[in-house]
Amino acid sequence: MDAITSPPTGSAAQRIEAELRRAIIAMDLPPGTRLSEQEIAAAHGVSRQPVREALIGLARTRLVEILPQRGTVVVKISTRKMMEARFVREAIETAVARRAAEAFDPAARVKIDDLIDLQQKAAQRNAHGTFQRYDELFHIALAEGAGCPLAWEAVSDIKAHMDRACHLTLTSSETMLDLVAQHRAIMAAVDARDPDAAAEAMHRHLREILRALPKVEAEHPDLFE
């Protein structure tokens, strides 16, 4: 089961980028953290060049901001941009859900049940990191089963940002189990071959996610811009 643990992949630059991305989304590197090429390179036992390429990759997805000749910082969370991100993601994923309900790859269908079960176990253990990883795998499998894996690429970066914000809102085991139930509801509509219901279920799913964000912003204003 390496579907969940796959850091040692390819070049040093890719490894470091994956590790930094994970750390940022998991809030191990909170918004505002200053990142130094030197320190990261020393910590990973490589030179500054691969680290630099990793940071450029992260800057492209807006997870960090590179200020020329000044430094690199983890970008702060913007509630406004989160709402825009949710809008875009909703547009894509409701369309995917609708298509999934019209025709779904049977082979991918059985895999999804396993993913949901594993995600539920992670939620019961209150294992935040693995929960989010299985959440991601669910959405990937849904897109692939619907026949548009490219849609996931478009959602991927957006979801990364949202996951980071969700790390503040998703604290209790109950809220995580709610999301699992919503996943099951989506698949129920897909199985029923009901496009409108599937889109509506996805719509409700995504609307829930960031509901608590404004409250969190009031509690941790330093993490927001």
Partner DNA sequence: TCCGTAATACTACCATACAAGATGGGGGCT
Partner DNA sequence: AGCCCCCATCTTGTATGGTAGTATTACGGA
Residue 224 DSSP label: B
Out of DNA, a second copy, none, what residue 90 binds, judged by CB under 5 to 8 A for its kind, is: a second copy
Q: Determine contact, residues 24/161, Cβ cutoff 8 Å.
A: no
75 φ, ψ (degrees, to nearest 5):
-70, 150
Residue 76 DSSP label: P
204 lies in the binding site for a second copy (CB under 8 A)? no
68 lies in the binding site for DNA (CB under 7 A)? yes
67 lies in the binding site for DNA (CB under 7 A)? yes
Out of a second copy, DNA, none, what residue 218 binds, judged by CB under 5 to 8 A for its kind, is: none
CA distance 45 to 115: 36
Phi/psi region, residue 67 (left: phi>0; alpha: psi -120 to 50; beta: rest), is beta
For residue 182, which of 104, 93, 110, 107 has the smallest C-alpha distance?
Answer: 93
For residue 187, which of 152, 130, 153, 141 has the smallest C-alpha distance?
Answer: 141
If the CB atoms of residues 61 and 173 are measured against a second copy, the closer one turns out to be 61
207 lies in the binding site for a second copy (CB under 8 A)? no
221 lies in the binding site for a second copy (CB under 8 A)? no
87 lies in the binding site for a second copy (CB under 8 A)? yes
CB 154 to DNA: min, Å: 24
Out of a second copy, DNA, none, what residue 214 binds, judged by CB under 5 to 8 A for its kind, is: none
For residue 37, which of 19, 55, 58 has the smallest C-alpha distance?
Answer: 55
Residues that bind a second copy (CB under 8 A): 10-11, 49, 52-53, 56-57, 60, 68, 81, 84-85, 87-88, 90-92, 94-96, 99, 147-151, 154, 157-158
Residues that bind DNA (CB under 7 A): 11-13, 35-39, 45-50, 52-53, 55-56, 66-72
